[in-house]
Structure formats: structure tokens, C-alpha cells
Amino acid sequence: KAGVTQTPRYLIKTRGQQVTLSCSPISGHRSVSWYQQTPGQGLQFLFEYFSETQRNKGNFPGRFSGRQFSNSRSEMNVSTLELGDSALYLCASSLGRSPGTRFSGANVLTFGAGSRLTVL
């Protein structure tokens, strides 16, 4: 079956612009998580969505936002881009069952290949 699909794979923006990244989860997966990966900070959690609701978010400024649609596809948006926003943005999906079941295989994250954003 198809994996997690992220678009676009590469993009270049300038400071002050905004960007929208898209993620299509594995069919049947209802949870979508977003992570930012940089050489200095590693993988940092941005937010997680399930059934169009944000269930957890990381320590990022309000310029970073996301949403999930009824078909489980998700988008994240970064407004007023800064140079430090240059990163690989990774989306991951899972079945996303209810709290307390995170030890099960149902909540193993499957990652996409990422969207590499360069801010000039």
C-alpha cells in the first residue's frame, strides 16, 4: 500500500513569505503528526491531529499552524518565514487509537520522506 506522501518535496522561499505543506497519510490512518528536522536541533515535535482535532502541540511559535481534513489529509502552514525555519518537515501517520494505547503497534509512526524548506 502507498506510504505517507508529502508535497512538495523541495521548496525555496524568502523571509517574510508563508508556506503550506501537505501530507497524505497511509490509507486508514487517522492520526497525523508533524516534526521539524534540523542539523542543530534534530527532530522536534510540532503537532499531532486526529479526526480533525489537534491533540498535542510542541513548543513552536504561533507562526506554525496545522489542520487536518475529514479525509485525514493534513496541512501545516508557516507564516512570516525566518531564516531559522529552513528545515526538513516530516509528516508521520498512525492508526492513532485512544490514549493509553500508545504501546501498541497501532501507534507506531510511519514517516514520509519530508518537505525540505529553504528560506533565503
Partner 1 sequence: GESVGLHLPTLSVQEGDNSIINCAYSNSASDYFIWYKQESGKGPQFIIDIRSNMDKRQGQRVTVLLNKTVKHLSLQIAATQPGDSAVYFCAETHEDYKLSFGAGTTVTVRA
Q: Which residues bind partner 1 (CB under 8 A)?
A: 4, 31, 33, 35, 42-45, 48, 50, 55-56, 58, 90, 92, 96, 99-100, 102-103, 108-114
Q: How far apart are CA 95 and CA 100, in angstroms?
A: 13
Q: Check whether the bond before 8 is cis (ω within 30° of 0).
A: yes
In the complex with partner 1, the residue whose CB is nearer, 19 or 34, is 34
In the bound complex, what is the minimum distance in angstroms from residue 75's beta carbon to partner 1? 17
Strand partners, 11: 117
In the bound complex, what is the minimum distance in angstroms from residue 101's beta carbon to partner 1? 9
Q: How far apart are CA 53 and CA 66, in angstroms?
A: 10
Q: Which of 108, 23, 118 is nearest to 72 (CA)?
A: 23
In the complex with partner 1, the residue whose CB is nearer, 28 or 100, is 100
Phi/psi of residue 65, nearest 5 degrees: -140, 165
In the complex with partner 1, the residue whose CB is nearer, 22 or 110, is 110
In the complex with partner 1, the residue whose CB is nearer, 62 or 100, is 100
